[in-house]
Structure 1
Amino acid sequence: MTEPSAVPDDNSLDGLRQRLSRFAAARDWEPFHTPKNLAAALSVEAGELLEIFQWLTPDQSAAVMTDPDTAHRVRDEVADVLAYLLQFCTVTGVDPLAALAAKIDRNELRFPAPGRPDGPRRSD
Structure 2
Amino acid sequence: MSDDPRDLDALRRRLAAFAAARHWQPYHTPKNLAAALSVEASELLEIFQWSTPEQSARVMTDPDAAHRVRDEVADVLAYLLQFCDVLGVDPLAALEAKIERNEIRFPVAGGTGEAAGPEG
TM over 0.5: yes
**1:85 paired to 2:80:** yes
Deviations 1:68-91 (A, max 9, x none): 000000000000000000000000
| Partner of residue 102 from structure 2, selected from 100, 107, 118 | 107
Which of 31, 34, 38 is the matching residue for 1:39?
34
Kept in 2: contact 1:8–1:14 (CA 8 A)? no
> Quick one: which of 10, 29, 33 aligns to 1:15?
10
Match of 2:92 in 1: 97
Structure 1: 5+ residue runs without aligned partners? 1-5
Supply the distance in 2 between the matched residues of 1:20 and 1:7 (Cα, whole angstroms).
Answer: 16
Structure 1 segments, 4+ long, off by >4 Å, are none
Give yes or no for contact 1:34–1:91 (8 Å, CA) kept in 2.
Answer: yes
TM-score after normalising by structure 1 = 0.87
Return the alpha-carbon distance in structure 1 between the equivalents of residues 73 and 51 of structure 2: 18
Question: 2:58 is matched with which residue: 63, 69, 72?
Answer: 63
Q: Amino acid of the residue matched to residue 22 of structure 1?
A: A
What is the percentage of aligned positions where both structures have the same residue? 75
Q: For 2:2 and 2:77, locate their aligned partners in 1 and report how far apart those are by CA, in whole Å.
A: 21
Amino acid corresponding to residue 74 of structure 1 in structure 2: V
How big is the alpha-carbon RMSD for the aligned residues of Structure 1 and Structure 2?
Answer: 1.4
Which protein is bigger by CA-based radius of gyration?
A: 1
Partner amino acid, structure 2, of 1:80:
D
Q: What is the rounded CA distance, in whole Å, between the counterparts of 2:51 and 2:2 in structure 1?
A: 43
State yes or no: 1:54 paired with 2:49.
yes
Give the TM-score of the pair, scaled to structure 2: 0.90
The amino acid that maps onto 1:111 is F
In structure 2, the partner of 1:3 is: none
Query: Following the alignment from structure 2 to structure 1, what is the Cα–Cα distance between the partners of residues 24 and 44?
Result: 24
